[in-house]
């Protein structure tokens, strides 16, 4: 059912006049009459009794009017009133080191509320599909019937430690990592003698642990604090990753979603 047809019916039923309804909706009177006729055809019932002077509701029309009025009130309060709230998700390191700094100076100017969520790649994709978030920053390009993605940046990984560590000794250090520690395993092809594994630990927290001598970690270079006090080693053996902004495959991005995505994608 086209919402415009319902609005045409509501305005006509409230005023008892196609002319008044057309004036309220800022369309031609013939358009109002046609939309209501299409609504009646789609429902298979007569909603109005038309006369030269006044439009009257049938029994079915009165029932629809009461239900449609409540629905229209809910639509108005949910979608038109107040500030909208946009939800954006990101991998923990991306949210901590890239999203927040990028939004930092802009948040006060945004015409909507923000909800920020850190989660795994799979968790973020599930949240997108379920409509819990509007967009997500993840390390994989996704293009399906319902989701589309745009490239954001390359991600170079580096090894951080309090002091330089020979590659042959990496497995003897305590590993600090979220997830599965795949990069350190790829470097050493061994299991660590000790580790600290904390789900969704922020990169800034990992950096502080490394600075304190608690262990070693592999992190994206862009995520390191500007004043990181430790050793940073390039990892040519680990291929650079790519970060993508993923959102629902809208025919046309809603204005608030477009404003936020433009802000995140700007150079």
What is the distance in angstroms between the CA of the first residue and the CA of the last residue of the chain? 42
> Where is average pLDDT lowest: 28-32, 36-40, 171-175, 222-226?
222-226
Residue 115's contacts (CB-CB under 8 Å, 6 or more residues apart) are 85, 86, 87, 88, 133
CATH 3.40.190 matches 157-239 = yes
**Range 3-80 classified under CATH 1.10.1510.10:** no
Mean pLDDT, residues 184-195 taken together:
90
Q: Each residue of 41-73: pLDDT tens digit?
A: 999 999 999 877 788 999 999 999 999 888 887
Tens of pLDDT, residues 105-118 = 787 778 788 889 98
All CATH 1.10.10.10 domain ranges in the chain, comma separated = 3-80
Report field, pTM of the whole predicted structure over 0.75: no
Residue 168 has pLDDT above 60, yes or no: yes
Q: Is the pLDDT assigned to residue 80 strictly greater than 70?
A: no
The CATH code belonging to domain 85-155+242-265 is 3.40.190.10
* Segment 217-265, tens digit of pLDDT: 998 888 888 889 999 999 988 887 899 999 988 888 888 888 888 888 8
Q: Which tokens hold the place of 44?
A: 């298979």
Helix axes 3-15, 29-43, angle to 10 degrees: 110
> Is the distance from CB of 216 to CB of 170 less than 8 angstroms?
yes
Q: When comparing pLDDT for 26 and 216, which is higher? A: 216
């Amino acid at each position: 059912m086209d919402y415009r047809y319902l609005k045409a019916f509501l305005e006509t039923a409230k005023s008892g006049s196609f002319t008044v309804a057309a004036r309220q909706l800022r369309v031609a009177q013939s358009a109002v009459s046609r939309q209501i006729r299409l609504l009646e055809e789609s429902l298979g019932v007569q909603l109005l009794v038309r006369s030269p002077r006044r439009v009257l509701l049938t029994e079915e029309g009165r029932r629809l009017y009461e239900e449609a009025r409540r629905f229209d009130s809910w639509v108005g309060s949910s979608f038109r009133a107040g500030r909208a709230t946009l939800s954006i998700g990101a991998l923990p390191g991306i949210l901590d080191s890239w999203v927040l700094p990028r939004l930092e100076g802009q948040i006060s100017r945004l015409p909507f509320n923000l909800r920020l969520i850190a989660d795994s790649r799979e968790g973020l994709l599930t949240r997108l599909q379920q409509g819990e978030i509007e967009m997500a920053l993840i390390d994989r390009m996704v293009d399906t019937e319902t989701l589309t993605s745009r490239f954001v940046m390359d991600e170079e990984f580096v090894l951080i430690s309090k002091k330089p560590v020979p590659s042959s000794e990496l497995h003897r250090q305590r590993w600090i990592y979220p997830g599965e520690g795949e990069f350190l395993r790829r470097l050493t092809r061994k299991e660590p003698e000790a580790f600290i594994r904390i789900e969704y630990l922020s990169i800034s927290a990992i950096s502080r642990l490394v600075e304190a001598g608690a262990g070693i970690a592999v992190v994206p270079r862009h995520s390191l604090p500007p004043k990181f006090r430790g050793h940073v080693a390039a990892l040519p053996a680990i291929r650079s990753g790519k970060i993508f902004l993923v959102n629902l495959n809208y025919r046309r991005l809603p204005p608030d979603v477009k404003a936020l995505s433009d802000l995140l994608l700007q150079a």
